[in-house]
Structure 1
């Protein structure tokens, strides 16, 4: 037989075996999305599958969610029982106030823009919104062909260099994000399938598709291989002349994939406004500093822009009322830290001041004395000069020293 004919027969044999294996699903099981479909398109549905992205979004949106939303006048006085507060607490029938703020924050960070819509006493987040500026430079909104009045909707943008469109993680970090998520899925799929352990059946014998005995032997070998479900399983497969089984090694290099993830996962944080290395090191050393870092770098700017847009949505541009987000950063520190702060506020009677009692989880006394702010050395009210003067009996300062000798 000539060399070309022998080579052609070998290729035909390989294709035959490949087709037999493919019919059984082996090719799809082995390679799945890791080899034949190595790329991965990132969208809203799967982006949170990346644990690192999810954790960063959670940390930022949780700060916004835990903020207290209040209405203030121009002088900073809080306006109680404003109707806007009721809407923000119960925006609609399918989201609570906390869920609404969290969803609005996550959408803002991922997509770069979000569209709150106020429909009477209901607040929604619109999708598929088309925007454009008219001849008078007024933004027009259209949802599925229906125009939405400007007073009902706000366009909250994570501003880059475009005045009409915001930029989010899915646009700014598109290449990095798709690479990271694809690499994560490669490793996940590999180990879900037992490390992609597979077998290659080599045939040196001449193949005849009409040879029933040959086909029966191939089928028997494949049946034996398919029954190996665990790495600890052992199968003895007797082979005839011209048959050989080799292990097919996974083409996925774990170390290279992990090295890639170690470099590029950290890049995702910069698109959310934080440096992941700095944030991680602060969390290990000082949780309070980490939360303040996150607050100042990421949460505070979002709060500012949310406040402005929600104020315009609820009150318009001519009102003296403003919506404000107030975050108690102590919500993010440990109980022991709160206790230390309490001891620093007042040396004795740690739960006497209402603000300390509330911080530590004790009931407030709600008396004028417990609501006053005290200095720690003599428990006198700050701002009352007479109280301070009373501690200087005699006026020569000797009593002052005597009164402070226990401090």
Structure 2
């Protein structure tokens, strides 16, 4: 069956099985990663680290389905699709890839193809005169109910804006500075040599030209910092190393200033974030969560809910994050200790015994048994046993006590 026939059948609802999308558009999906080029933002280690922190929080979040009252719907079929989105990505990888693409490009296009999710690349979008958005990949139209356009909103209603656009100039400067330092030390600091002659260099002097070319050949053959070349010279010749034009201190000072600017394009003040990671990791993760992660979660929730359930459904996809996943073990121990300490001092009689002030409330004055915190005076077994008039029932009630 030809592409046109298959596409027509799909739109008419006659093709129920997956096939059209996977066969015709898989090349635009599976190979949509960021390739090594001058715009590859992940080559900057600081940007990579910040993006890892953001996308890791997204990846570790638990995805649930809730109803209109916020009650969790367990074992919903949508959750299986999100856990196993396709044959080449896990659920965690999908969310991490979605987040990184969203941050770098400013937009990401998840496509739901029956029971599989793909992230499409090279999507062309346009609004018609009724303000309905239409999608095409390689000239092939994608039905709007299959795809969502998740945008990192700037001022353009049709396009999101990402790090490649926002921080392009700053990013290029940082990456060039990093490359200069890396290349310099990769080559052992050897940049150039100056050949000094007592006599003027004469292009017509064959012997002179032959010597210069031989020296150049020797120097160009040095490809590793461990390589050493011995070049014997006659009287009147000398080779000196030129002073490097690359001043490390100035480049490092440049990087210290402008690398921090890259964080602002991700919604983070790097100075604040760095200081918090050193003093209080939990506060640092909460800062990152509130400044960068939470808005992304909300945007993803909105679009994935519409992608799976449509606009008329009361069901909604939610991301649940446990911020304690990002704190140290000692911090968790302290939190547990404080909870236990508070629990121990809750009953007034225990608080008085340990030297803490009484709270003098009905709850703290009640006597509890076991760890179910049930008041003895409110045990239903006791109350029910006294209602019967039958002596045997009373005895049974006494036994229940």
Shared fold (TM-score greater than 0.5)?
yes
| Residue 119 (structure 2) pairs with residue 125 (structure 1) | yes
Cα deviation digits, residues 119-157 of structure 1 (max 9, x gap): 010101111011111111111111110110110000001
Please give the secondary structure, in 2, of the residue aligned with 1:319. coil
- 1:96 corresponds to which residue? 90
Q: Larger deviation: 309-318 or 213-222?
A: 213-222
Q: Larger deviation: 309-318 or 199-208?
A: 199-208
Please give the secondary structure, in 1, of the residue aligned with 2:156. coil
Consecutive unaligned residues in structure 1, runs of 5 or more? 1-39, 349-373, 393-407
1:66 pairs with 60, 70, 76, which one?
A: 60
Aligned CA distance change for structure 1 residues 187 and 93 (closer, same or farther; 3 Å): same
Distance 1:127 1:199 in 2: 48
- 2:366 corresponds to which residue? 390
- 2:347 corresponds to which residue? 378
Q: Judge conservation of contact 2:347–2:365 (CA < 8 Å) in 1.
A: no
List aligned pairs for 1:2-401, cutoff 5 A.
42-43=38-39, 46-203=40-197, 204-208=199-203, 211=206, 213-222=207-216, 224-225=218-219, 230=225, 233=228, 235=230, 237-241=232-236, 243-347=237-341, 377-378=346-347, 388=364, 390-391=366-367
Shift of 1:340: 1.0
- 1:15 corresponds to which residue? none
Shift of 1:196: 3.4
Aligned CA distance change for structure 1 residues 66 and 206 (closer, same or farther; 3 Å): closer
Distance 1:75 1:220 in 2: 83
Consecutive unaligned residues in structure 2, runs of 5 or more? 1-35, 351-360, 369-401
TM-score by length of 2: 0.74
Please give the secondary structure, in 1, of the residue aligned with 2:73. coil
Aligned CA distance change for structure 1 residues 155 and 223 (closer, same or farther; 3 Å): closer
Cα deviation digits, residues 319-357 of structure 1 (max 9, x gap): 111000000000000111111111111239xxxxxxxxx
- 1:360 corresponds to which residue? none
- 1:29 corresponds to which residue? none
Please give the secondary structure, in 1, of the residue aligned with 2:341. coil
Aligned CA distance change for structure 1 residues 319 and 181 (closer, same or farther; 3 Å): same
Q: Judge conservation of contact 1:291–1:329 (CA < 8 Å) in 2.
A: yes
Cα deviation digits, residues 38-75 of structure 1 (max 9, x gap): xx9742xx321110000000000000000000000011
Distance 1:208 1:275 in 2: 59
Number of aligned residue pairs: give it: 320
Please give the secondary structure, in 2, of the residue aligned with 1:336. helix
Distance 2:92 2:212 in 1: 61
Q: Judge conservation of contact 1:115–1:127 (CA < 8 Å) in 2.
A: yes
Cα deviation digits, residues 92-115 of structure 1 (max 9, x gap): 111110000000001101111110
Distance 1:375 1:103 in 2: 46
Distance 1:196 1:247 in 2: 8
TM-score by length of 1: 0.73
